[in-house]
Structure 1
Amino acid sequence: MNHAIFVVKVIEKPVHLIYKECQSMEIKVKFPAPRQKDSRNELTLLLWGDYKGDFIKYYKTQDYLIIEGTLTSKGYANEENEIKIIVKKLYPFLLI
């Protein structure tokens, strides 16, 4: 199973995608602090349904989020892998 939970920081504005009747949103995020200098720390979130409206209404660039979702990977051994997360749940993360 590719179920995962992450704390991420939003680094770019969302991009709206429309495919036939389905609408989704892609958002670039990264881990707050990479462990190693050469490690990948950026991911793309895919939001569907009510989460799109909630994200636009409540969140902005530079916010921290707790996301729960399914990991997907696209790529081959010789090419750079593109990692996306299909978001199942989305929570704000407050730093005090």
Structure 2
Amino acid sequence: MNHAFFIVKVVKNPVHLMSKDYETVEIKVEFPVSRQKNSKNEIILLLWGDHRTDFLKYYKVQDYLLIEGIITLTSTNNNNQVKITVKRLYPFLLL
């Protein structure tokens, strides 16, 4: 099953992707702490619909998020890229 929950930190500003039928936002995030030195730490979130507008309205770089979504892995040549289509998005506070 590829459904998961993550706590992530927003690293870069969102990139708007537009199609004929829909608009999405692509955001590069990373895990707060990497467990292994050689592990991949960055993933890309795909937001659409209300999640896209809420993110653009309320969140910025350096914010922490609790996300629930579906994981997809794309392979091009020798490069594997992990993308998560977000189903739910919540702010996360570290105290």
Same fold (TM over 0.5): yes
* Residues 1:69 and 2:69 are matched in the alignment: yes
Q: CA RMSD in A?
A: 1.0
Number of matched pairs: 95
What is the percentage of aligned positions where both structures have the same residue? Answer: 60
Structure 2 distance, partners of 1:88, 1:32, is 21
Q: CA deviation at 1:56?
A: 1.0
Q: CA deviation at 1:54?
A: 0.4
Q: CA deviation at 1:19?
A: 1.2
Runs of 4+ with deviation above 4 angstroms: none
Q: Which runs of 5+ in 1 are unaligned?
A: none
1:52-91 Cα distance to aligned partner (Å, 9 max, x none): 1100111100000000000000006x61211000000000
2:50 corresponds to: 50
TM-score (ref. length: structure 2): 0.96
TM-score (ref. length: structure 1): 0.95
